[in-house]
Homo-oligomer: A and B are copies of this chain.
């Protein structure tokens, strides 16, 4: 049975947009391997031929999803929010873990898609490689904040900081709701040692 009849106006709007919306929802919540093309097209009310006209393969849709995730989650949801919450570069760095703390509490917390895809596909797979690239972008943002804060050896700083981010995400997936606070405490020490 069809979930819901696609409204005419949404049908008029781009099929690509609907596919991307559904893909973002399903991929971020359940991973990319667990979601098949048939489910994607059914839930976005699109014909299979239409899907394959816009995306040459499922993997290319996953690539588009990862890029969307970078914009929508990494940049808009996490980094912009952290920049908004802090007044100084140091505060903004630490605010990342405040945002994480709120994020971990969400009912529909879905972990980090880049880590998920990297571990699902392996670092050798093109999608794993793409995930590694996007994770490097995150590290780049942290490094930029470190440079704004005038910290020493910003590359090393960002790599250590990223360990705390990723470790806390895994701990939150296990159910530790205080993971962000713990990571933030260690993050504070890390800042001290890079001043």
Chain A contributes a number of interface residues (CB within 8 A of B) equal to 39
So how many copies of this chain end up in the complex? 2
In contact, B167 and A182 (Cβ under 8 angstroms) = no
A170 at the interface (CB under 8 A from B): yes
Q: Could you tell me the distance in whole angstroms from the C-beta of A117 to the nearest C-beta in chain B?
A: 9
| Chain B residues, Cβ within 8 Å of A93 | none
Q: Within the assembled complex, what's the spacing in Å between the Cα atoms of A180 and B41?
A: 43
In contact, B186 and A159 (Cβ under 8 angstroms) = no
Kindly report which residue of chain B lies nearest to residue A186, judged by CB atoms: B186
A36 at the interface (CB under 8 A from B): no
In contact, A166 and B166 (Cβ under 8 angstroms) = yes
In chain A, positions 165-195 with a C-beta closer than 8 Å to chain B are 165-168, 170-171, 173-176, 178-179, 182-183, 185-186, 189-190, 193
Task: List 3 A-B pairs, minimum CB-CB distance, nearest first.
Answer: A167-B167, A163-B167, A166-B170
Q: Using CB atoms and an 8 Å cutoff, list the residues of chain A in contact with chain B.
A: 30-31, 33, 111, 115-116, 118-120, 122-123, 132, 135-136, 156, 159-160, 162-168, 170-171, 173-176, 178-179, 182-183, 185-186, 189-190, 193
